[in-house]
Structure 1
């Protein structure tokens, strides 16, 4: 593999790198998932119980303590409210996981930079793969909760991965950008946690878009997570088809972000060894 191919920054090279290294990405993702709970008694089962516990806690806090209701009529049960809320949490967590981890990806793998000929661009893919796995586990918990509470869940749930696709590409784009920036600006890792926390409260996770005054709704719609959260609730809870036009536009935007992030990463990676 020549250096020109390794450092190519074109959109085509982005997909070629993924396909060429797909087995390595899968292997590293599997190792990361299993390594997170290595040594614990319950092992990988924690990946199931963590979102389940989170669902129970959010149900208690928002529907019992704060007595929040999603609809204006307040007709839904506590369980139904928790399910609606949990969809937003799943989407936000997927994005937050990759953004929060990205600044430390290169720093945590210095040996790959200095000692080994290694395709560094796959590290954000590995982080994203891990985040997607936990999102799918959380979705399983969500569907089981619906099965218990409503005795059914909509078949349109199979469309959820398609709804997430624009967010997946946008997330990997941010991952590449922040992974590179984190090498040169170490403080960026402190800012991403603050950013994702603020973004959670500026997204329709804990409240519907309709709960905001009209003058603020426009700003909420500019939040890229808003569309994905709203469309996810359509397919996972309401049993409706998503807005394919809006998702197509979001997918184009996500691909543009991914291409820009990959370009930035490839153009700046030559200085990693000098800085580290």
Structure 2
């Protein structure tokens, strides 16, 4: 089903699955031009023109993975009504399918990112191998939230509109366009409450700076994600009996 989800997105297009490569390449080129040439932006400790774009791209990959799943979740059950009403189907796998498709596109983006970094700096840190580990809390938390939103989306149709706005707001309330150190000291603890903050910052550490993960933050983030995943799954299973009546 994940493969069908990925392939179906490009079905009928001339270039087909190749778009999954060209989209992140185009984004990276645009970011590099706009932020290094137009705004002359620089990241602390990074002087190259493309460095800011690469650091920004890491944050966009992490936020994009979360946003794609969260925005899709409220309509998962609604768009698969036949599975609810006509056949015996494990509805709980639908958020997993959505997450799998989002992970596929994120992997393509990471490949583009590492290739660009290799071209600009000539090195790819071995700590990049930690990146799948860093994503584990994000995947678990996103899956739990997807179960929650998929269930709520059946009964409250406004959820999809609300989540679309919130994911856009979260882009600016997460360290995607800036590092945590750029904020005044008084605001940093609030930003740390954002579950994406740890993932974005540590992703940059392992993919770009060659630093090992911050394991204390990882354990806390993983524990919180497990709680969210279990709570979301419990609510989904608790409410699924009413899906057919509403649909």
Q: TM-score range by the shorter chain?
A: over 0.9
1:29 Cα shift? 0.1
Match of 1:141 among 87, 106, 112: 112
| Contact 2:78 2:154 survives alignment (8 Å) | yes
| Contact 2:70 2:163 survives alignment (8 Å) | yes
Q: Which stretch of structure 1 is more off in the superposition, 35-44 or 97-106?
A: 35-44
Match of 2:29 among 52, 56, 59: 56
Separation (CA, whole Å) in 2 of partners of 1:169 and 1:144 = 28
Report SS of the residue matched to 2:157: coil
1:77 Cα shift? 1.3
TM value normalised by structure 1:
0.88
Q: For the aligned residues, what is the CA RMSD?
A: 0.9
1:39 Cα shift? 1.2
1:63 Cα shift? 2.0
1:66 Cα shift? 1.8
For the pair 1:163 / 2:120, whether they are aligned, the reply is: no
| Contact 2:144 2:232 survives alignment (8 Å) | yes
1:200 maps to 171
For the pair 1:45 / 2:18, whether they are aligned, the reply is: yes
What's the CA shift string for 1:48-71, capped at 9, x where partnerless? 110111111122222222221111
1:262 Cα shift? 0.1
1:173 maps to 144
User: How many residue pairs end up in the alignment?
Assistant: 247
TM value normalised by structure 2:
0.98
Q: Which residues of structure 2 form unaligned runs of 5+?
A: none
| Contact 2:61 2:106 survives alignment (8 Å) | yes
Separation (CA, whole Å) in 1 of partners of 2:11 and 2:222 = 36
2:55 maps to 84
| Contact 2:83 2:89 survives alignment (8 Å) | yes
Task: Output aligned runs, 1:89-238, within 5 Å.
Answer: 89-238=60-209
Q: Which residues of structure 1 form unaligned runs of 5+?
A: 1-27
